[in-house]
């Protein structure tokens, strides 16, 4: 087989695509470390990871709805809502506030997934509406003020701490990635999720319950969003209703850069983690270079266009709207 | 008598399958030529070639004696050939007038803006041709089916102004969605326009063809097997001709009935699906093969899909394995032990961009795992490879992408999905051998027989007569949503092909 | 936004009474089809009137002239955005770049006319410049989505970010205050109690209605959303109309930025933020569905009025203004669900 024909078979293209994000990451790291040797210190890396752990978690959680071919626009708003809810509940529940918030968020996310199927409205619409509802709820709960947590809460203190010299938040991110990756690779639901993203109709006719798949995907994205919000809360000890609002678009960029196709069925949470780290490094690169900070948005915008153009399975889309 | 349109030696192939084989057809000016044939006879491919949707792989098309190259429906339009669809070429949110002139909006617009009065007058003129007296600015979506069909016809007739001489008007099963008074109205319009155009009329209903046609053309197995003048038509002979080659390729029969007991695994009573199925009842024993056959629109597929829980609205009752079957989704059907191989393999059967093993394991793979909710690809390998061997699936490995396999092998993989669990009691197959080469067909036939021998009940909607005749213990023929014939003891005393075709058409 | 189903549910009901006998529930199905049609055609207007009546009864200040003016003023900017969105939505595409393009429009106006920071003053030439910029971005959106075959959702997501970034890039070190009174008077001068912006918005809406009903572009836009493949087969240059729709949208968003500049009197690179959500909600609630082939300018305008009235009324009756977005979120979900309820089917794929 000539080398050209190897490249043209879909399986090899698939393998290539999976390695590209990793490759890009390495290149970005090299470029960055050349430009700013100060970054190579462990401390710098660690604080970078800690600052961006919430964003990475959002990216990881957002991957699941995208894997099934949908979109969850409410993740960032959920993070904000979770942050303020965590702060408000902490006087009563102490550290269990965190558990309650994550559990509640997951249920709400699962409900979203279920309703999308029942009402047959686009996930875009459902989650856009949910975005508004979460925003409004967060604003109303806080009265548009900041809310804070007292000190001495185990959960929030430990989140801010570190083990083995690595920030706990980043460890948590890694733990979530590992759990989700295991779920995607080794459970029935994981198999169903990938199949759903590739051919929803075939999955239906194969006897799989679509409602369940959607609920799991949106439940996980909401849960991760909530966790991200709690992380932000423990970072700054304060939260307000819009703390995470600007993070939605960068989160989508991270997912897409990691190689997960918007059309669904292709990608993984590990890929999203890599994509997220690349996005973070891009941001760092823009900051330390002489480019004005506003170029960040422009760069992200261009990156999203290029990344999606390369990863979308056009055959699947048919008429592109 | 001048020839309006003729096809000479036309061939059309789709991969290995020959849709049209050396077809010669002549359409005389001013006549109505009725085209009749079974599924797969080639009549729809013929229509598509005449209307420019397909291009022939061999042979030529002549309009008025001159050879033409019809590369698209637009080319056909310029040659004076128009196809009246089942109103698939109309836009509901536009007005009647805009639909009539859909391919030439610029003719009634100046600087991008419509000249409504000019369009309205011209539209009225065109609508008069079909005696349709409605406001040309009515939104198309507000019209009834019959009226919409007339607008379709009027749209084709607008070609008269563009082309010198006669039009050739093709009707592709126009009566499928019309009620009797609307069919009569359509026929009277056809009789009116006969004087200035030539018509090809396709239908699967023998009585309609005999009513409207001057000549009847019978298609079978991709060939034009006979032409008869209306007054020389012998209906029995037509049925015989429609059967064609299928008679010859009969596979060896299998005496089965000794095993069938009186217990019923499936009982369907008074099943009705609005618009598709009307009052269908039948039952099946374990290990029985029940073959259902009907032309397009007969409702056979809907019966299967309703049993599988895919119908939005239906009435009637089903008992499965002695207990009522009240399900609303395939997942529930699967849980009870029912499987379904869909006709649309690419969209409903296989999961695309995924390996053979993932496709095979998707429904029942979990049964081989270590714990609940888990999946063990390692443990699934052996059973999957087992079925790959049993069904003679040709694939370099089970990790190969299913999209790269041939149609026949893809179908076998989708079949293996249902067999992996060994927990099925009823397997429903919807046109399982459609588009398959003879080797794959034979393999599938053998597999079906073996499964039935082991006690699996099989409900099969067949593509061809020989399929149901060689496999079934009982045959149900469906026509227009109802059972038109129910034949038992097929293997002992087989019905003739003509008997079946007569009930189908 | 692709709706996998092309036939309308109402038509399916009619089809079903043709073959093989009756529906399980005969006359009830006819009623449902009728009700669904009426709801679609007149529902939003009825809802608007209903809201007005309700709020007039519940809040004493609602039905006053002053409040009526306030509603109109509040509706001006979303109306312009909705006009731009309408053509795109009818074609079953979407344009998310609202906030970026309008912010950019605002910035361009603020730095190009007489202001406190830059020396440039091109006077009223800023208006065509702004419109041209918006149109150019819109055209680019159309070109990329058509020729790179990417969903408009993603393309306009990208241009949203890029335009926002450009707005930030062009923002000078200090916030520019607009000195040219011709611009600011648009918002300040009142004729019959209502600012020029409202009159402009009405004029643009009327122009848009004329375009929608009388031009090939306008009529084809709805057709494209309903059944694009058939149009292509008929030889219609669908791509042209698609690009035109995005261009118009970009221009409208830029005009919205101009309106904002007139109102706030300064240049703010984030001034457009918060426009997208209410405008899409307004279109959908009014009947211009995301699935395409439905609605129009008139419907979208009614939708804008509904949303603005809702906001206004809720404040009047004392609902916590912070809950506003929650109410709107619920409204958008309900409206879309209600409008597509009759299309639900097991085999339908909605992503």
- When pLDDT is averaged across residues B312-323 and rounded to a whole number, the result is 92
> Which of B74, B87, B91, B332 to probe by mutation at the C interface, max C CB count within 10 Å?
B91
Output the six-digit token pair for B74.
Answer: 């637009």
Measure C9 CA to nearest chain A CA, in Å: 14
Give the number of beta-carbon pairs within 8 Å between A and C.
173
Among C20, C344, C346, whose Cβ lies nearest the Cβ of B277?
A: C20
Q: For the whole model, what pTM was predicted?
A: 0.84
Give the Cα separation of A275 and B221 in Å (integer).
56
Q: What is the pLDDT of residue B269?
A: 93
Contact between A233 and A85 under an 8 Å Cβ cutoff? The reply is no
- Answer yes or no: is pLDDT of C245 > 90: yes
> Per-residue confidence at A211, pLDDT binned at 50, 70, 90?
very high
> Which of A297, A310, A315 to probe by mutation at the C interface, max C CB count within 10 Å?
A297
Crossing angle between the packed helical segments A75-93 and A210-236, to the nearest 10 degrees: 60
Give the Cα separation of A126 and C154 in Å (integer).
18
Q: What is the pLDDT of residue A149?
A: 75
Give the Cα separation of A227 and A232 in Å (integer).
9
Q: What is the pLDDT of residue A307?
A: 77
> Per-residue confidence at A5, pLDDT binned at 50, 70, 90?
very low
Query: Which chain B residues are within 8 Å of A204, Cβ to Cβ?
Result: 329-330, 348
Give B176's DSSP letter.
G
- Answer yes or no: is pLDDT of B325 > 70: yes
Q: What is the pLDDT of residue B306?
A: 95
Task: Convert the pLDDT of each residue in A162-206 to its tens digit.
Answer: 777 677 888 899 999 999 999 999 999 999 999 999 999 999 999
> Per-residue confidence at C18, pLDDT binned at 50, 70, 90?
very low
- Interchain CB distance below 8 Å, A320 and C145: yes
- Residues facing B324 on adjacent strands: B319
Give the Cα separation of C261 and C301 in Å (integer).
22
Q: How many helices (H) and strands (E) does chain B have?
A: 17, 22
> Per-residue confidence at A250, pLDDT binned at 50, 70, 90?
confident
Distance of alpha carbon B71 from the chain centroid: 25
Measure A92 CA to nearest chain B CA, in Å: 36
- Interchain CB distance below 8 Å, A321 and C92: yes
Give A213's DSSP letter.
H
Contact status of A214 with chain B (Cβ, < 8 Å): no
Q: What is the ipTM of this complex?
A: 0.84
Task: Convert the pLDDT of each residue in B434-454 to its tens digit.
Answer: 877 777 888 888 889 989 988
Mean pLDDT of all residues in chain A?
Answer: 84
- When pLDDT is averaged across residues A284-309 and rounded to a whole number, the result is 76
- When pLDDT is averaged across residues B196-202 and rounded to a whole number, the result is 90
Among C19, C233, C346, whose Cβ lies nearest the Cβ of B73?
A: C233
Cα B124 to Cα B128, B129, B136, C219, distances in angstroms: 6, 9, 7, 20
Nearest to B213 by CA among B405, B474, B424, B36: B36
- Residues facing B317 on adjacent strands: B269
Burial class (CB in 10 A: 0-12, 13-18, 19+), A175: exposed
Give the number of other Cβ atoms within 10 Å of residue C74's Cβ: 18
Place of tokens 């709400």: A108
Contact status of A286 with chain C (Cβ, < 8 Å): no
Nearest to C220 by CA among C247, C243, C241: C241
Give the number of other Cβ atoms within 10 Å of residue B364's Cβ: 23
- Residues facing B406 on adjacent strands: none
Q: What is the pLDDT of residue B90?
A: 86
Give A150's DSSP letter.
-
**177-216 in A: which are within 8 Å (CB) of C?**
200-201, 204
Contact status of A242 with chain C (Cβ, < 8 Å): no
- Interchain CB distance below 8 Å, A125 and C336: yes
CA pseudo-torsion sign B258, B259, B262, B268? negative
Give the number of beta-carbon pairs within 8 Å between A and B.
86
Contact status of C50 with chain A (Cβ, < 8 Å): no
> Which of A65, A121, A290 to probe by mutation at the C interface, max C CB count within 10 Å?
A121
Q: What is the pLDDT of residue C15?
A: 45
Q: What is the pLDDT of residue C5?
A: 27
Task: Convert the pLDDT of each residue in C149-190 to its tens digit.
Answer: 888 888 998 899 899 989 988 998 889 898 888 888 888 888
Give the Cα separation of B18 and B170 in Å (integer).
23
Contact status of C348 with chain A (Cβ, < 8 Å): yes
Give the Cα separation of A100 and C87 in Å (integer).
45
Give the Cα separation of C33 and A38 in Å (integer).
70
B321: region left, alpha or beta (phi > 0 left; psi from -120 to 50 alpha): left
Give the Cα separation of B94 and C212 in Å (integer).
12
Give the number of other Cβ atoms within 10 Å of residue B171's Cβ: 27
Query: Which chain A residues are within 8 Å of B334, Cβ to Cβ?
Result: 206-207
Instruction: Name residues whose C-beta falls within 8 Å of residue B51's C-beta, 6 or more positions apart in sequence.
Output: B70, B73, B76, B81, B82, B83, B170
Question: Checking DSSP bridges between strand C190-191 and strand B482-487, what pairing results, if any?
Answer: unpaired
- When pLDDT is averaged across residues A142-160 and rounded to a whole number, the result is 74
Mean pLDDT of all residues in chain B?
Answer: 87
> Which of C149, C158, C318, C324 to probe by mutation at the A interface, max A CB count within 10 Å?
C158
Q: What is the pLDDT of residue C256?
A: 96
Contact between B42 and B218 under an 8 Å Cβ cutoff? The reply is no
Instruction: Name residues whose C-beta falls within 8 Å of residue B301's C-beta, 6 or more positions apart in sequence.
Output: B343, B430, B431, B461
- Answer yes or no: is pLDDT of C73 > 50: yes
Give the Cα separation of B65 and A230 in Å (integer).
80
Distance of alpha carbon B478 from the chain centroid: 14
Residues in chain C whose Cβ is within 8 Å of chain B: 8, 11-24, 214-217, 219-220, 222-223, 226-227, 230-231, 233-236, 293-294, 344-347
Measure B445 CA to nearest chain C CA, in Å: 29
- Answer yes or no: is pLDDT of C14 > 50: no
* Chains contacting A (3 or more CB pairs within 8 Å): B, C
Contact status of A207 with chain B (Cβ, < 8 Å): yes
- Interchain CB distance below 8 Å, B91 and C231: yes
- Answer yes or no: is pLDDT of C43 > 80: no
Question: Checking DSSP bridges between strand C190-191 and strand C194-195, what pairing results, if any?
Answer: antiparallel
Give the Cα separation of A282 and B448 in Å (integer).
59
Using CA coordinates, name the residue in chain C closest to B53: C233
- Interchain CB distance below 8 Å, C227 and B91: yes
- Answer yes or no: is pLDDT of B149 > 50: yes
Name which of B103-117, B459-473, C133-147, C161-175 the model is least confident about.
B103-117
Query: Which chain B residues are within 8 Å of A266, Cβ to Cβ?
Result: 353
Mean pLDDT of all residues in chain C?
Answer: 84
More confident residue, B490 or A158: B490
Q: What is the pLDDT of residue A180?
A: 96
Distance of alpha carbon B22 from the chain centroid: 23
Among B347, B363, B404, whose Cβ lies nearest the Cβ of A206?
A: B363
Q: What is the pLDDT of residue C16?
A: 42
- When pLDDT is averaged across residues C130-159 and rounded to a whole number, the result is 92
Measure A59 CA to nearest chain C CA, in Å: 17
Task: Convert the pLDDT of each residue in A7-54 to its tens digit.
Answer: 445 555 666 666 777 777 887 778 777 777 776 777 777 788 888 999
> Per-residue confidence at C123, pLDDT binned at 50, 70, 90?
confident
* B10: enclosing H helix or E strand: strand B3-14
Measure B52 CA to nearest chain A CA, in Å: 22
Task: Convert the pLDDT of each residue in C280-324 to its tens digit.
Answer: 888 988 888 877 888 899 999 999 999 899 888 888 888 877 888
- Answer yes or no: is pLDDT of C232 > 70: yes
> Per-residue confidence at C97, pLDDT binned at 50, 70, 90?
very high
- Answer yes or no: is pLDDT of B249 > 60: no
Q: What is the pLDDT of residue A150?
A: 67
Q: What is the pLDDT of residue B237?
A: 82
- Answer yes or no: is pLDDT of B203 > 80: yes
Q: What is the pLDDT of residue B245?
A: 57
Contact status of A19 with chain B (Cβ, < 8 Å): no
3-class DSSP state of B290 = strand
Measure B330 CA to nearest chain A CA, in Å: 5
- Answer yes or no: is pLDDT of C21 > 80: no
Task: Convert the pLDDT of each residue in B475-490 to its tens digit.
Answer: 999 998 999 999 888 8
Residues in chain B whose Cβ is within 8 Å of chain C: 72-74, 88-94, 98, 102-103, 105-106, 109, 112-114, 116, 141, 144-145, 177-179, 272, 274-279, 297, 299, 310-315, 329, 480-482
Measure B421 CA to nearest chain A CA, in Å: 13
Q: What is the pLDDT of residue C349?
A: 84
Could you write out the DSSP letters of every residue in B61-102? EEETTEEE---SHHHHHHTTEEEE-SSTT--TTSBHHHHHTT
- When pLDDT is averaged across residues A248-257 and rounded to a whole number, the result is 85
Give the Cα separation of B387 and B395 in Å (integer).
12
Could you write out the DSSP letters of every residue in C105-125? HHHHHHHHSSBSS-----GGG
Q: What is the pLDDT of residue C33?
A: 63
Q: What percent of chain B is modeled with pLDDT above 90?
A: 34
Burial class (CB in 10 A: 0-12, 13-18, 19+), B270: exposed
């Amino acid at each position: 087989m000539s080398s050209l024909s190897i490249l043209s078979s879909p399986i090899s293209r698939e393998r290539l695509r999976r390695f590209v994000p990793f490759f890009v990451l390495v290149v970005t790291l090299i470029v960055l470390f050349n430009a700013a040797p100060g970054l190579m210190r462990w401390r710098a890396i660690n604080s970078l990871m800690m600052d961006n752990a919430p964003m990475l978690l959002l990216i990881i959680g957002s991957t699941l709805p995208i894997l099934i071919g949908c979109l969850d626009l409410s993740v960032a708003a959920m993070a904000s809502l979770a942050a303020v809810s965590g702060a408000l509940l902490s006087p009563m529940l102490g550290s269990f506030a965190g558990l309650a918030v994550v559990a509640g968020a997951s249920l709400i996310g699962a409900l979203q997934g279920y309703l999308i199927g029942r009402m047959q409205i686009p996930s875009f619409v459902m989650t856009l509406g949910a975005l508004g509802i979460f925003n409004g709820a967060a604003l109303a709960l806080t009265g548009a003020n900041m809310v804070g947590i007292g000190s001495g809460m185990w959960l929030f203190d430990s989140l801010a701490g570190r083990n083995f010299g690595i920030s706990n938040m980043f460890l948590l991110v890694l733990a979530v990635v590992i759990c989700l990756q295991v779920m995607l690779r080794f459970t029935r639901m994981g198999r169903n999720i990938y199949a759903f993203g590739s051919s929803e109709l075939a999955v239906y006719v194969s006897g799989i319950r679509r409602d369940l798949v959607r609920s799991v995907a949106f439940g996980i994205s909401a849960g991760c969003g909530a966790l991200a919000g709690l992380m932000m809360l423990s970072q700054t000890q304060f939260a307000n209703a819009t703390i995470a609002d600007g993070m939605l678009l960068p989160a989508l960029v991270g997912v897409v850069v990691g190689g997960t196709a918007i059309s669904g069925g292709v990608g993984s949470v590990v890929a999203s983690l890599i994509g997220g780290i690349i996005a973070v490094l891009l941001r760092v690169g823009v900051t330390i270079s002489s480019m004005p900070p506003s170029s960040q948005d422009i760069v992200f915008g261009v990156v999203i266009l290029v990344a999606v153009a390369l990863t979308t399975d056009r055959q699947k889309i048919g008429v592109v709207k | 008598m001048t020839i309006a349109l003729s096809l000479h030696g036309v061939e059309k192939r789709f991969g290995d399958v020959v849709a049209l084989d050396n077809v010669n057809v002549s359409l005389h000016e001013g006549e109505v030529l009725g085209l009749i044939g079974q599924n797969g006879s080639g009549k729809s491919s013929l229509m598509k070639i005449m209307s420019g949707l397909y291009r022939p792989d061999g042979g030529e098309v002549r309009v008025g004696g001159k050879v033409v190259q019809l590369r698209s429906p637009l080319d056909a339009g310029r040659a004076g050939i128009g196809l009246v669809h089942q109103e698939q070429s109309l836009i509901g949110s536009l007005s009647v007038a805009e639909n009539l002139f859909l391919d030439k909006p610029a003719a009634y617009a100046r600087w991008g803006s419509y000249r409504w009065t000019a369009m309205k007058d011209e539209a009225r003129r065109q609508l008069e041709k079909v005696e349709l007296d409605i406001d040309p600015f009515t939104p198309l979506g507000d019209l009834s089916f019959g009226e919409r069909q007339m607008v379709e016809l009027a749209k084709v007739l607008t070609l008269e102004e563009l082309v010198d001489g006669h039009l050739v008007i093709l009707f592709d099963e126009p009566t499928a969605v019309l009620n009797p008074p609307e069919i009569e109205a359509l026929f009277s319009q056809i009789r009116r326009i006969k004087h200035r155009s030539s018509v090809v009329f396709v239908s699967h209903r023998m009585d309609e063809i005999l009513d409207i046609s001057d000549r009847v053309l019978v298609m079978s197995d991709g060939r034009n097997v006979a032409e008869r003048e209306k007054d020389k038509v012998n209906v029995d002979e037509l049925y015989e001709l429609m059967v064609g080659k299928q008679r010859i390729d009969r596979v060896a029969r299998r005496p089965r009935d000794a095993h069938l007991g009186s217990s019923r695994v499936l009982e369907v009573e008074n099943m009705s699906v609005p618009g598709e199925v009307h009052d269908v009842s039948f039952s099946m024993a374990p290990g029985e093969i029940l073959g259902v056959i009907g032309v397009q629109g007969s409702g056979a597929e809907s019966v299967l899909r309703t049993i599988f829980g895919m119908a939005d609205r239906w009435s009637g009752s089903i008992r499965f394995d002695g207990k009522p079957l009240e399900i609303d989704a395939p997942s529930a059907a699967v849980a009870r032990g029912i499987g379904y191989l869909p006709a649309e393999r690419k969209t409903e059967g296989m999961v695309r961009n995924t390996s053979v093993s993932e496709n095979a394991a998707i429904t029942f793979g979990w049964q081989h795992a270590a714990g609940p909710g888990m999946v063990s690809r390692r443990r699934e390998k052996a059973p999957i490879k087992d079925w790959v061997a049993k069904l003679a699936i040709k694939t370099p490995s089970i990790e190969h992408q299913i999209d790269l396999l041939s149609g026949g092998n893809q179908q076998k993989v989708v079949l293996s999905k249902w067999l992996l669990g060994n927990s099925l009691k009823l397997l429903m197959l919807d046109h399982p051998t459609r588009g398959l080469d003879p080797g794959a067909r034979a393999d599938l036939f053998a597999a079906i027989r073996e499964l039935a021998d082991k006690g699996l009940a099989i409900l099969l909607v067949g593509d061809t007569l020989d399929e149901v005749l060689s496999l079934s213990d009982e045959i149900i023929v469906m026509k227009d949503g109802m059972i038109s014939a129910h034949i038992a003891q097929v293997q002992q005393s087989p019905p003739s092909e003509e008997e079946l075709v007569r009930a189908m058409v | 936004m692709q709706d996998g189903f092309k036939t309308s549910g109402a038509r399916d009901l009619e089809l079903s009474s043709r073959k093989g006998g009756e529906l399980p529930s005969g006359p009830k199905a006819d009623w449902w089809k009728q009700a669904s049609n009426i709801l679609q055609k007149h529902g939003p207007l009825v809802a608007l009137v209903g809201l007005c009546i309700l709020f007039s009864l519940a809040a004493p200040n609602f039905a006053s002239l002053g409040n009526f003016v306030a509603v109109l003023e509040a509706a001006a900017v979303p109306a312009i955005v909705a006009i731009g969105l309408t053509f795109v939505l009818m074609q079953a595409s979407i344009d998310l770049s609202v906030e970026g393009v309008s912010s950019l429009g605002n910035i361009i106006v603020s730095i190009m006319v007489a202001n406190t920071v830059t020396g440039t003053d091109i006077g009223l030439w800023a208006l065509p410049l702004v419109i041209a910029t918006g149109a150019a971005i819109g055209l680019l959106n159309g070109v990329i989505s058509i020729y790179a075959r990417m969903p408009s959702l993603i393309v306009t997501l990208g241009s949203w970010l890029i335009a926002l970034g450009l707005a930030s890039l062009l923002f000078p070190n200090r916030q520019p205050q607009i000195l040219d009174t011709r611009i600011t008077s648009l918002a300040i001068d009142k004729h019959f109690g209502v600012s020029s912006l409202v009159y402009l918005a009405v004029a643009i809406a009327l122009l848009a209605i004329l375009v929608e009903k009388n031009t090939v572009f306008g009529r084809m836009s709805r057709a494209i959303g309903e059944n694009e493949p058939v149009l292509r087969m008929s030889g219609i240059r669908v791509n042209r109309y698609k690009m035109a729709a995005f261009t118009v949208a970009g221009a409208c968003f830029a005009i919205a930025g101009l309106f904002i500049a007139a109102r706030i009197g300064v240049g703010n690179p984030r001034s457009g933020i918060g426009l997208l959500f209410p405008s899409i909600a307004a279109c959908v609630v009014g009947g211009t569905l995301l699935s395409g082939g439905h609605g129009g300018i008139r419907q979208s305008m009614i939708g804008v009025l509904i949303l603005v009235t809702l906001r206004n009324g809720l404040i009047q009756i004392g609902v916590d203004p912070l809950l506003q977005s929650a109410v709107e979120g619920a409204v958008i979900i309900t409206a879309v669900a209600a409008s597509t309820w009759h299309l639900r089917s097991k085999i339908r794929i909605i992503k």
